[in-house]
Structure 1
Amino acid sequence: MKKLILLFFLMLYSFITFGQYESEEEGLYSRFRPGVMWFYSGLKPYEEEKLRKYDRLMVDVVYNDFYGDRDYFSSPWQSIGVNASLMFDVILTKANTMSFGWGIGYSHFSNRSKLQFTRDLDNKTTLVADFPAGSEPKGSKFGANYIEIPLELRFRTKGHKHFKFMIGGKIGYQLNSFSKQIERIDGKKYATKNYGFPDSNPLRYGATVRIGIRNWAFYGAYYFSPLFTADGSADLTPISVGITLSLF
Protein backbone atom coordinates (compact mmCIF):
# COMPACT_ATOMS: atom_id res chain seq x y z
CA MET A 1 0.00 0.00 0.00
CA LYS A 2 2.84 2.43 0.82
CA LYS A 3 4.37 1.76 -2.60
CA LEU A 4 1.04 2.44 -4.34
CA ILE A 5 0.58 5.74 -2.47
CA LEU A 6 4.17 6.77 -3.30
CA LEU A 7 3.56 5.93 -6.97
CA PHE A 8 0.40 8.05 -6.94
CA PHE A 9 2.21 11.13 -5.64
CA LEU A 10 5.06 10.67 -8.12
CA MET A 11 2.48 10.62 -10.92
CA LEU A 12 0.84 13.66 -9.34
CA TYR A 13 4.09 15.63 -9.50
CA SER A 14 4.72 14.63 -13.11
CA PHE A 15 1.24 15.90 -14.09
CA ILE A 16 1.89 19.20 -12.32
CA THR A 17 5.03 19.90 -14.29
CA PHE A 18 3.19 19.61 -17.62
CA GLY A 19 0.31 22.03 -16.83
CA GLN A 20 0.32 25.01 -19.25
CA TYR A 21 -1.89 28.01 -20.00
CA GLU A 22 -3.05 28.43 -23.58
CA SER A 23 -4.61 31.83 -24.32
CA GLU A 24 -5.28 35.28 -22.92
CA GLU A 25 -8.23 36.39 -20.81
CA GLU A 26 -9.09 40.00 -21.50
CA GLY A 27 -8.85 42.40 -18.56
CA LEU A 28 -7.53 39.93 -15.95
CA TYR A 29 -4.54 41.46 -14.17
CA SER A 30 -5.22 40.56 -10.55
CA ARG A 31 -2.29 39.97 -8.23
CA PHE A 32 -4.34 38.07 -5.66
CA ARG A 33 -3.28 34.51 -4.97
CA PRO A 34 -6.50 32.50 -4.53
CA GLY A 35 -4.83 29.15 -3.85
CA VAL A 36 -1.54 27.38 -3.21
CA MET A 37 0.63 27.35 -6.39
CA TRP A 38 -2.21 29.00 -8.34
CA PHE A 39 0.26 30.80 -10.63
CA TYR A 40 3.01 28.16 -10.55
CA SER A 41 3.56 25.32 -13.00
CA GLY A 42 5.96 23.28 -10.88
CA LEU A 43 8.96 24.61 -12.81
CA LYS A 44 8.50 28.38 -13.05
CA PRO A 45 5.86 31.09 -12.44
CA TYR A 46 3.22 31.61 -15.11
CA GLU A 47 2.88 34.90 -16.91
CA GLU A 48 0.07 36.91 -15.31
CA GLU A 49 -1.56 37.87 -18.62
CA LYS A 50 -2.17 34.22 -19.53
CA LEU A 51 -5.54 32.53 -19.15
CA ARG A 52 -5.98 30.84 -15.77
CA LYS A 53 -6.69 27.16 -15.31
CA TYR A 54 -8.50 26.03 -12.19
CA ASP A 55 -9.25 23.01 -10.02
CA ARG A 56 -6.31 20.88 -11.10
CA LEU A 57 -5.34 19.51 -7.68
CA MET A 58 -8.36 18.98 -5.44
CA VAL A 59 -8.70 17.45 -1.99
CA ASP A 60 -12.11 16.35 -0.68
CA VAL A 61 -12.81 15.81 3.03
CA VAL A 62 -16.04 13.82 3.12
CA TYR A 63 -18.57 12.12 5.37
CA ASN A 64 -19.07 8.52 4.19
CA ASP A 65 -22.28 6.54 4.52
CA PHE A 66 -24.23 3.66 2.94
CA TYR A 67 -27.65 3.23 1.42
CA GLY A 68 -29.53 0.02 0.68
CA ASP A 69 -29.98 -2.11 3.79
CA ARG A 70 -29.20 0.96 5.91
CA ASP A 71 -30.97 4.32 6.14
CA TYR A 72 -29.26 7.41 4.72
CA PHE A 73 -27.00 9.36 7.11
CA SER A 74 -27.28 6.84 9.92
CA SER A 75 -23.51 6.43 10.32
CA PRO A 76 -21.56 8.28 13.03
CA TRP A 77 -20.15 11.70 12.16
CA GLN A 78 -16.62 10.30 12.58
CA SER A 79 -17.05 8.40 9.28
CA ILE A 80 -14.59 10.72 7.53
CA GLY A 81 -12.74 9.86 4.33
CA VAL A 82 -10.38 11.71 2.00
CA ASN A 83 -10.14 11.97 -1.79
CA ALA A 84 -7.36 13.55 -3.85
CA SER A 85 -7.68 14.27 -7.57
CA LEU A 86 -5.11 15.57 -10.04
CA MET A 87 -6.90 16.83 -13.15
CA PHE A 88 -6.32 18.63 -16.42
CA ASP A 89 -8.59 21.66 -16.97
CA VAL A 90 -9.34 21.66 -20.71
CA ILE A 91 -10.83 25.09 -21.54
CA LEU A 92 -13.76 25.01 -23.98
CA THR A 93 -14.72 28.70 -24.26
CA LYS A 94 -12.67 31.85 -24.94
CA ALA A 95 -13.95 33.54 -21.78
CA ASN A 96 -12.95 30.50 -19.68
CA THR A 97 -16.53 29.95 -18.48
CA MET A 98 -16.72 26.29 -19.48
CA SER A 99 -14.15 23.52 -19.38
CA PHE A 100 -13.72 19.76 -19.20
CA GLY A 101 -11.80 18.14 -16.36
CA TRP A 102 -10.20 14.71 -16.41
CA GLY A 103 -7.38 13.04 -14.54
CA ILE A 104 -6.49 10.50 -11.88
CA GLY A 105 -7.48 10.25 -8.23
CA TYR A 106 -7.14 8.34 -4.97
CA SER A 107 -10.00 7.76 -2.54
CA HIS A 108 -10.11 6.41 1.01
CA PHE A 109 -13.60 5.35 2.13
CA SER A 110 -14.02 5.12 5.90
CA ASN A 111 -17.22 4.24 7.74
CA ARG A 112 -17.32 3.86 11.52
CA SER A 113 -20.75 2.29 11.95
CA LYS A 114 -20.80 -0.42 14.60
CA LEU A 115 -21.60 -3.14 12.09
CA GLN A 116 -20.31 -6.69 12.11
CA PHE A 117 -19.02 -7.82 8.70
CA THR A 118 -19.06 -11.61 8.49
CA ARG A 119 -17.44 -13.55 5.64
CA ASP A 120 -19.25 -16.71 4.51
CA LEU A 121 -16.48 -18.37 2.53
CA ASP A 122 -18.56 -21.46 1.67
CA ASN A 123 -21.32 -19.45 -0.03
CA LYS A 124 -18.96 -16.62 -1.08
CA THR A 125 -21.13 -13.95 0.52
CA THR A 126 -20.67 -11.13 3.03
CA LEU A 127 -23.22 -10.58 5.78
CA VAL A 128 -23.59 -7.37 7.77
CA ALA A 129 -25.54 -6.98 11.02
CA ASP A 130 -25.49 -5.10 14.31
CA PHE A 131 -23.36 -6.62 17.02
CA PRO A 132 -25.35 -8.62 19.62
CA ALA A 133 -26.37 -6.54 22.63
CA GLY A 134 -23.69 -6.59 25.28
CA SER A 135 -20.90 -7.64 22.93
CA GLU A 136 -20.38 -4.39 21.02
CA PRO A 137 -16.70 -3.59 20.39
CA LYS A 138 -15.05 -0.41 21.62
CA GLY A 139 -14.93 0.72 18.01
CA SER A 140 -15.42 -0.65 14.51
CA LYS A 141 -14.77 0.48 10.96
CA PHE A 142 -15.20 -0.53 7.35
CA GLY A 143 -12.59 0.89 4.99
CA ALA A 144 -11.65 0.69 1.32
CA ASN A 145 -9.06 2.32 -0.94
CA TYR A 146 -9.51 3.13 -4.62
CA ILE A 147 -7.62 4.43 -7.63
CA GLU A 148 -10.07 6.44 -9.77
CA ILE A 149 -10.56 8.27 -13.06
CA PRO A 150 -12.68 11.43 -12.50
CA LEU A 151 -14.46 13.28 -15.32
CA GLU A 152 -16.21 16.65 -14.95
CA LEU A 153 -18.01 19.25 -17.05
CA ARG A 154 -17.21 22.58 -15.40
CA PHE A 155 -19.13 25.87 -15.54
CA ARG A 156 -17.89 29.09 -13.91
CA THR A 157 -18.23 32.85 -14.05
CA LYS A 158 -15.34 35.05 -15.21
CA GLY A 159 -12.34 35.93 -13.07
CA HIS A 160 -10.51 34.25 -10.23
CA LYS A 161 -13.34 35.12 -7.77
CA HIS A 162 -15.68 32.96 -9.79
CA PHE A 163 -18.76 30.96 -8.85
CA LYS A 164 -18.49 27.40 -10.16
CA PHE A 165 -20.69 24.39 -10.78
CA MET A 166 -19.25 21.03 -11.80
CA ILE A 167 -21.11 17.86 -12.67
CA GLY A 168 -19.56 14.58 -13.67
CA GLY A 169 -18.68 11.13 -12.48
CA LYS A 170 -15.84 8.76 -11.77
CA ILE A 171 -14.95 5.12 -12.04
CA GLY A 172 -12.51 3.46 -9.68
CA TYR A 173 -10.73 0.21 -8.99
CA GLN A 174 -10.60 -1.09 -5.42
CA LEU A 175 -7.10 -1.68 -4.07
CA ASN A 176 -8.35 -3.31 -0.86
CA SER A 177 -11.21 -3.38 1.63
CA PHE A 178 -11.26 -4.36 5.27
CA SER A 179 -13.23 -4.35 8.50
CA LYS A 180 -11.62 -3.41 11.80
CA GLN A 181 -12.72 -4.01 15.39
CA ILE A 182 -11.20 -2.57 18.55
CA GLU A 183 -11.70 -4.39 21.84
CA ARG A 184 -10.67 -3.34 25.34
CA ILE A 185 -9.47 -6.28 27.46
CA ASP A 186 -8.00 -5.77 30.94
CA GLY A 187 -7.51 -2.08 30.23
CA LYS A 188 -5.66 -2.67 26.95
CA LYS A 189 -6.86 -2.06 23.38
CA TYR A 190 -6.63 -4.83 20.79
CA ALA A 191 -7.36 -4.26 17.09
CA THR A 192 -8.42 -6.98 14.65
CA LYS A 193 -8.57 -6.47 10.88
CA ASN A 194 -10.28 -8.74 8.36
CA TYR A 195 -9.45 -8.65 4.66
CA GLY A 196 -10.51 -10.73 1.69
CA PHE A 197 -14.29 -10.44 1.42
CA PRO A 198 -15.24 -13.18 -1.08
CA ASP A 199 -17.58 -11.03 -3.22
CA SER A 200 -16.04 -7.60 -2.77
CA ASN A 201 -16.85 -5.46 -5.82
CA PRO A 202 -13.57 -4.41 -7.49
CA LEU A 203 -15.25 -1.55 -9.37
CA ARG A 204 -16.86 1.62 -8.05
CA TYR A 205 -18.64 4.16 -10.25
CA GLY A 206 -21.04 7.01 -9.65
CA ALA A 207 -22.02 10.63 -10.20
CA THR A 208 -20.36 13.68 -8.59
CA VAL A 209 -21.24 17.35 -8.17
CA ARG A 210 -19.38 20.40 -6.86
CA ILE A 211 -20.83 23.86 -6.16
CA GLY A 212 -18.69 26.65 -4.78
CA ILE A 213 -16.72 29.88 -5.05
CA ARG A 214 -13.11 30.22 -6.16
CA ASN A 215 -11.09 27.38 -4.60
CA TRP A 216 -13.79 26.08 -2.18
CA ALA A 217 -16.82 23.94 -2.99
CA PHE A 218 -19.45 21.66 -1.50
CA TYR A 219 -19.02 18.11 -2.81
CA GLY A 220 -21.34 15.15 -3.23
CA ALA A 221 -20.89 11.66 -4.71
CA TYR A 222 -23.70 9.16 -5.30
CA TYR A 223 -22.45 5.72 -6.31
CA PHE A 224 -24.36 3.07 -8.24
CA SER A 225 -22.08 0.11 -7.57
CA PRO A 226 -22.70 -1.97 -4.40
CA LEU A 227 -19.85 -2.97 -2.13
CA PHE A 228 -20.68 -6.68 -2.43
CA THR A 229 -21.94 -8.50 -5.52
CA ALA A 230 -23.40 -11.87 -4.41
CA ASP A 231 -27.20 -12.26 -4.25
CA GLY A 232 -27.16 -13.29 -0.58
CA SER A 233 -24.81 -10.55 0.58
CA ALA A 234 -25.63 -7.28 2.33
CA ASP A 235 -26.96 -4.57 0.04
CA LEU A 236 -24.68 -1.61 0.80
CA THR A 237 -23.76 1.14 -1.66
CA PRO A 238 -21.58 4.09 -0.62
CA ILE A 239 -22.40 7.81 -0.70
CA SER A 240 -20.22 10.78 0.26
CA VAL A 241 -20.78 14.47 1.04
CA GLY A 242 -18.22 17.05 2.10
CA ILE A 243 -16.01 19.99 1.16
CA THR A 244 -13.48 20.39 -1.64
CA LEU A 245 -10.34 22.54 -1.48
CA SER A 246 -8.71 23.27 -4.84
CA LEU A 247 -5.03 23.84 -4.14
CA PHE A 248 -4.34 25.16 -7.65
Structure 2
Amino acid sequence: MLHYKKFLGGLALSLLIATTSAQAQDTTTTPEGAQPDLPGMLLIDFGFNFLNNAPDDLETRIWGSRGFNVYYLYPIPIGESKFSLHTGLGLGFVNYSFDGRVTLSDEQDSTQFVPLDATTYPNLRKTQLTTHYLDIPLEVRFFAKENYRGFTAAIGGRVGRLINSFTKIKYEDGGTNEEDKFKRRYNLNPWRYGAYAKVGFRGITLTGQYMFSDLFTSGEGPEVNNYKIGITIGLF
Protein backbone atom coordinates (compact mmCIF):
# COMPACT_ATOMS: atom_id res chain seq x y z
CA MET A 1 0.00 0.00 0.00
CA LEU A 2 2.94 2.31 0.50
CA HIS A 3 3.59 2.33 -3.22
CA TYR A 4 -0.02 2.55 -4.40
CA LYS A 5 0.40 6.19 -5.53
CA LYS A 6 3.22 5.18 -7.87
CA PHE A 7 1.04 2.35 -9.13
CA LEU A 8 -1.91 4.69 -9.76
CA GLY A 9 0.34 7.13 -11.58
CA GLY A 10 1.79 4.39 -13.76
CA LEU A 11 -1.63 3.01 -14.63
CA ALA A 12 -2.97 6.48 -15.40
CA LEU A 13 0.02 7.11 -17.70
CA SER A 14 -0.55 3.81 -19.46
CA LEU A 15 -4.22 4.64 -20.01
CA LEU A 16 -3.27 8.07 -21.34
CA ILE A 17 -0.80 6.53 -23.80
CA ALA A 18 -3.41 3.99 -24.89
CA THR A 19 -5.98 6.74 -25.42
CA THR A 20 -3.53 8.88 -27.40
CA SER A 21 -2.60 5.91 -29.59
CA ALA A 22 -6.28 5.17 -30.15
CA GLN A 23 -6.95 8.74 -31.22
CA ALA A 24 -4.00 8.70 -33.61
CA GLN A 25 -5.13 5.43 -35.12
CA ASP A 26 -8.69 6.68 -35.40
CA THR A 27 -7.59 9.64 -37.52
CA THR A 28 -5.32 7.64 -39.82
CA THR A 29 -6.63 4.12 -40.30
CA THR A 30 -10.31 3.93 -39.33
CA PRO A 31 -13.29 5.32 -41.27
CA GLU A 32 -15.26 8.20 -39.89
CA GLY A 33 -17.68 7.16 -37.15
CA ALA A 34 -15.97 3.80 -36.45
CA GLN A 35 -14.15 2.75 -33.30
CA PRO A 36 -10.35 2.18 -33.36
CA ASP A 37 -9.32 -1.36 -34.26
CA LEU A 38 -7.92 -2.20 -30.83
CA PRO A 39 -8.36 -5.46 -28.88
CA GLY A 40 -10.35 -4.01 -26.02
CA MET A 41 -12.31 -1.16 -24.47
CA LEU A 42 -11.19 1.69 -22.23
CA LEU A 43 -14.11 2.84 -20.09
CA ILE A 44 -14.79 5.47 -17.48
CA ASP A 45 -17.90 5.74 -15.38
CA PHE A 46 -19.23 8.40 -13.07
CA GLY A 47 -22.02 8.00 -10.55
CA PHE A 48 -23.44 8.69 -7.13
CA ASN A 49 -22.96 6.35 -4.18
CA PHE A 50 -25.63 5.55 -1.61
CA LEU A 51 -25.31 3.68 1.69
CA ASN A 52 -27.78 0.84 2.17
CA ASN A 53 -29.02 -0.08 5.68
CA ALA A 54 -27.42 3.05 7.13
CA PRO A 55 -28.47 4.17 10.65
CA ASP A 56 -31.62 6.29 10.72
CA ASP A 57 -29.70 9.37 11.85
CA LEU A 58 -27.08 9.07 9.08
CA GLU A 59 -27.66 10.55 5.65
CA THR A 60 -25.30 11.25 2.77
CA ARG A 61 -25.10 14.19 0.39
CA ILE A 62 -25.81 13.04 -3.13
CA TRP A 63 -23.46 15.38 -5.00
CA GLY A 64 -20.62 14.91 -2.54
CA SER A 65 -20.94 11.12 -2.63
CA ARG A 66 -19.54 10.79 -6.12
CA GLY A 67 -17.72 7.79 -7.51
CA PHE A 68 -15.37 7.40 -10.48
CA ASN A 69 -14.05 4.25 -12.14
CA VAL A 70 -11.60 3.78 -15.00
CA TYR A 71 -10.95 0.33 -16.41
CA TYR A 72 -9.89 -1.66 -19.45
CA LEU A 73 -11.90 -4.62 -20.76
CA TYR A 74 -10.70 -7.28 -23.16
CA PRO A 75 -13.42 -8.92 -25.31
CA ILE A 76 -13.82 -12.65 -25.90
CA PRO A 77 -16.43 -13.32 -28.65
CA ILE A 78 -19.07 -15.95 -27.94
CA GLY A 79 -19.23 -17.85 -31.19
CA GLU A 80 -20.82 -15.96 -34.07
CA SER A 81 -23.38 -14.28 -31.82
CA LYS A 82 -23.65 -10.62 -30.92
CA PHE A 83 -22.65 -11.47 -27.36
CA SER A 84 -19.14 -11.33 -25.92
CA LEU A 85 -17.43 -11.93 -22.59
CA HIS A 86 -15.30 -9.07 -21.23
CA THR A 87 -12.77 -9.02 -18.40
CA GLY A 88 -9.93 -6.70 -17.43
CA LEU A 89 -8.58 -4.41 -14.73
CA GLY A 90 -9.58 -1.06 -13.27
CA LEU A 91 -9.48 1.46 -10.46
CA GLY A 92 -12.43 2.57 -8.34
CA PHE A 93 -12.65 5.85 -6.40
CA VAL A 94 -15.59 6.03 -3.98
CA ASN A 95 -16.65 8.98 -1.79
CA TYR A 96 -19.30 9.18 0.90
CA SER A 97 -20.14 12.73 1.97
CA PHE A 98 -22.03 12.81 5.28
CA ASP A 99 -24.97 15.15 5.73
CA GLY A 100 -24.43 16.24 9.31
CA ARG A 101 -21.72 16.67 11.91
CA VAL A 102 -20.46 13.07 11.86
CA THR A 103 -17.28 11.23 10.96
CA LEU A 104 -15.75 7.79 11.50
CA SER A 105 -13.89 6.73 14.63
CA ASP A 106 -12.03 3.46 15.21
CA GLU A 107 -10.93 4.24 18.77
CA GLN A 108 -13.47 1.86 20.31
CA ASP A 109 -13.84 -1.90 19.83
CA SER A 110 -15.36 -1.27 16.39
CA THR A 111 -15.60 1.59 13.92
CA GLN A 112 -18.58 3.87 14.49
CA PHE A 113 -20.13 7.03 13.08
CA VAL A 114 -19.55 9.65 15.79
CA PRO A 115 -20.55 13.33 16.14
CA LEU A 116 -17.98 16.07 15.55
CA ASP A 117 -17.25 18.48 18.37
CA ALA A 118 -18.63 21.95 17.60
CA THR A 119 -15.74 23.63 19.42
CA THR A 120 -13.06 21.87 17.38
CA TYR A 121 -14.98 22.25 14.13
CA PRO A 122 -17.04 25.44 14.56
CA ASN A 123 -18.07 26.05 10.94
CA LEU A 124 -18.21 22.65 9.27
CA ARG A 125 -18.17 22.60 5.46
CA LYS A 126 -17.64 18.95 4.56
CA THR A 127 -17.05 15.58 6.21
CA GLN A 128 -16.51 12.49 4.09
CA LEU A 129 -15.00 9.02 3.72
CA THR A 130 -12.91 8.23 0.63
CA THR A 131 -11.93 4.73 -0.53
CA HIS A 132 -9.82 3.49 -3.47
CA TYR A 133 -10.02 -0.01 -4.97
CA LEU A 134 -8.19 -2.14 -7.51
CA ASP A 135 -10.97 -3.95 -9.40
CA ILE A 136 -11.34 -6.96 -11.68
CA PRO A 137 -14.61 -6.74 -13.68
CA LEU A 138 -16.26 -9.54 -15.65
CA GLU A 139 -19.30 -8.98 -17.86
CA VAL A 140 -21.37 -10.39 -20.71
CA ARG A 141 -22.14 -7.70 -23.29
CA PHE A 142 -24.52 -7.48 -26.24
CA PHE A 143 -23.91 -5.23 -29.26
CA ALA A 144 -26.61 -4.74 -31.88
CA LYS A 145 -24.00 -3.81 -34.52
CA GLU A 146 -20.30 -4.37 -35.15
CA ASN A 147 -17.57 -2.02 -33.89
CA TYR A 148 -19.49 -1.26 -30.67
CA ARG A 149 -22.17 0.64 -32.58
CA GLY A 150 -25.91 0.79 -31.98
CA PHE A 151 -27.78 -0.47 -28.94
CA THR A 152 -25.71 -2.18 -26.24
CA ALA A 153 -26.45 -3.86 -22.91
CA ALA A 154 -24.38 -5.73 -20.35
CA ILE A 155 -24.61 -7.56 -17.05
CA GLY A 156 -21.63 -8.40 -14.91
CA GLY A 157 -19.83 -8.20 -11.63
CA ARG A 158 -16.60 -6.99 -10.12
CA VAL A 159 -14.27 -7.98 -7.30
CA GLY A 160 -12.10 -5.27 -5.77
CA ARG A 161 -9.29 -4.93 -3.25
CA LEU A 162 -9.08 -1.89 -0.97
CA ILE A 163 -5.80 -0.02 -1.53
CA ASN A 164 -6.41 3.28 0.27
CA SER A 165 -8.89 4.93 2.64
CA PHE A 166 -9.16 8.16 4.61
CA THR A 167 -11.62 10.61 6.14
CA LYS A 168 -11.58 14.32 5.39
CA ILE A 169 -13.05 17.18 7.41
CA LYS A 170 -13.24 20.67 5.93
CA TYR A 171 -14.19 23.61 8.12
CA GLU A 172 -13.70 27.34 8.65
CA ASP A 173 -11.90 28.63 11.71
CA GLY A 174 -11.41 32.35 12.28
CA GLY A 175 -12.09 33.16 8.66
CA THR A 176 -9.55 30.59 7.41
CA ASN A 177 -10.46 27.43 5.53
CA GLU A 178 -8.98 24.37 7.23
CA GLU A 179 -8.83 20.69 6.34
CA ASP A 180 -8.07 17.68 8.53
CA LYS A 181 -7.29 14.38 6.81
CA PHE A 182 -7.01 11.08 8.66
CA LYS A 183 -5.57 8.18 6.66
CA ARG A 184 -6.70 4.96 8.34
CA ARG A 185 -8.31 1.66 7.45
CA TYR A 186 -11.28 2.17 9.80
CA ASN A 187 -11.94 -1.60 9.78
CA LEU A 188 -13.16 -1.33 6.19
CA ASN A 189 -13.71 -4.62 4.41
CA PRO A 190 -10.49 -5.26 2.44
CA TRP A 191 -12.57 -6.81 -0.36
CA ARG A 192 -15.66 -5.69 -2.20
CA TYR A 193 -17.81 -7.62 -4.67
CA GLY A 194 -21.05 -6.88 -6.43
CA ALA A 195 -23.07 -6.91 -9.65
CA TYR A 196 -23.94 -4.28 -12.22
CA ALA A 197 -26.05 -3.74 -15.33
CA LYS A 198 -25.69 -1.35 -18.26
CA VAL A 199 -27.95 -0.25 -21.10
CA GLY A 200 -27.36 2.42 -23.70
CA PHE A 201 -26.36 3.38 -27.22
CA ARG A 202 -22.88 3.10 -28.73
CA GLY A 203 -20.30 4.05 -26.09
CA ILE A 204 -22.62 5.66 -23.52
CA THR A 205 -24.69 3.60 -21.08
CA LEU A 206 -26.74 4.08 -17.96
CA THR A 207 -25.21 1.97 -15.20
CA GLY A 208 -26.48 0.60 -11.91
CA GLN A 209 -24.25 -1.23 -9.43
CA TYR A 210 -25.04 -3.04 -6.18
CA MET A 211 -22.37 -4.26 -3.76
CA PHE A 212 -23.23 -7.46 -1.89
CA SER A 213 -20.23 -7.11 0.40
CA ASP A 214 -20.45 -5.06 3.58
CA LEU A 215 -18.51 -1.81 3.67
CA PHE A 216 -16.91 -2.76 7.01
CA THR A 217 -15.44 -6.04 8.22
CA SER A 218 -18.10 -8.14 9.93
CA GLY A 219 -18.32 -7.37 13.64
CA GLU A 220 -15.92 -4.43 13.37
CA GLY A 221 -18.23 -1.71 12.06
CA PRO A 222 -21.80 -0.81 11.03
CA GLU A 223 -23.55 -3.37 8.82
CA VAL A 224 -23.95 -1.25 5.70
CA ASN A 225 -23.29 -1.80 2.01
CA ASN A 226 -23.67 0.49 -0.97
CA TYR A 227 -25.07 0.93 -4.45
CA LYS A 228 -24.32 3.36 -7.27
CA ILE A 229 -26.25 4.91 -10.16
CA GLY A 230 -24.45 6.68 -13.00
CA ILE A 231 -23.24 6.61 -16.59
CA THR A 232 -20.41 4.78 -18.37
CA ILE A 233 -18.53 6.24 -21.35
CA GLY A 234 -16.37 4.23 -23.71
CA LEU A 235 -13.24 6.09 -24.79
CA PHE A 236 -12.49 3.42 -27.41
Q: TM-score, normalised by structure 1?
A: 0.77
1:5-20 map, 5 Å: 5-9=8-12, 12=15
Q: CA deviation at 1:109?
A: 0.1
- Give distance in 1, aligned partners of 2:144 and 2:224: 38
Within the alignment, does 1:233 sit opposite 2:203 as a pair?
no
Q: Which amino acid letter does the alignment assign opposite residue 77 of structure 1?
A: W
Residue by residue, what CA displacement relative to the aligned partner does 1:25-52 show, whole Å, maximum 9, x if unpaired? xxxxx93325xxx2254xxxxxxxxxxx
Quote the RMSD (CA, aligned, Å). Answer: 3.0
Residue by residue, what CA displacement relative to the aligned partner does 1:151-203 show, whole Å, maximum 9, x if unpaired? 00111212453211100000000111111111100110111112223422110
Corresponding residue SS for 1:75 = coil
- Give distance in 2, aligned partners of 1:230 and 1:16: 40
Within the alignment, does 1:148 sit opposite 2:151 as a pair?
no
In 1, are the aligned partners of 2:49 and 2:65 still within 8 Å (CA)?
yes
| % identity of equivalent residues | 26
Q: Which amino acid letter does the alignment assign opposite residue 69 of structure 1?
A: A
More helix by share: 2
* Consecutive unaligned residues in structure 1, runs of 5 or more: 20-29, 42-52
Go from structure 1 to structure 2 and tell me whether the alpha carbon gap of 1:242 and 1:81 turns closer, same or farther (over 3 Å shift): same
Q: Which residue of 1 aligns with 2:99?
A: 114
Q: Which residue of 1 aligns with 2:53?
A: 68
Equivalent in 188, 198, 210 of residue 176 of structure 2:
188
Corresponding residue SS for 1:138 = strand
- Give distance in 2, aligned partners of 1:203 and 1:2: 19
Q: CA deviation at 1:15?
A: 7.8
In 2, are the aligned partners of 1:119 and 1:127 still within 8 Å (CA)?
yes
In 2, are the aligned partners of 1:169 and 1:208 still within 8 Å (CA)?
yes
Go from structure 1 to structure 2 and tell me whether the alpha carbon gap of 1:89 and 1:13 turns closer, same or farther (over 3 Å shift): farther
Q: Which residue of 1 aligns with 2:33?
A: 33
Residue by residue, what CA displacement relative to the aligned partner does 1:84-111 show, whole Å, maximum 9, x if unpaired? 010101111325x100000000010012
- Give distance in 1, aligned partners of 2:103 and 2:174: 25
In 1, are the aligned partners of 2:157 and 2:193 still within 8 Å (CA)?
yes
Q: Which amino acid letter does the alignment assign opposite residue 140 of structure 1?
A: T
Within the alignment, does 1:216 sit opposite 2:199 as a pair?
no
Corresponding residue SS for 2:61 = coil
- Give distance in 1, aligned partners of 2:18 and 2:87: 12
Go from structure 1 to structure 2 and tell me whether the alpha carbon gap of 1:130 and 1:238 turns closer, same or farther (over 3 Å shift): farther
Corresponding residue SS for 1:206 = strand
Q: CA deviation at 1:230?
A: 4.1
Q: Which amino acid letter does the alignment assign opposite residue 120 of structure 1?
A: D
* Consecutive unaligned residues in structure 2, runs of 5 or more: 23-29
In 2, are the aligned partners of 1:148 and 1:171 still within 8 Å (CA)?
yes
Q: Which residue of 2 aligns with 1:205?
A: 193
Within the alignment, does 1:4 sit opposite 2:3 as a pair?
no
Corresponding residue SS for 1:137 = strand
1:158-197 map, 5 Å: 158-160=145-147, 161-197=149-185
Q: Which residue of 2 aligns with 1:25?
A: none
- Give distance in 1, aligned partners of 2:157 and 2:17: 24
- Give distance in 1, aligned partners of 2:128 and 2:69: 18
Q: CA deviation at 1:4?
A: 1.8
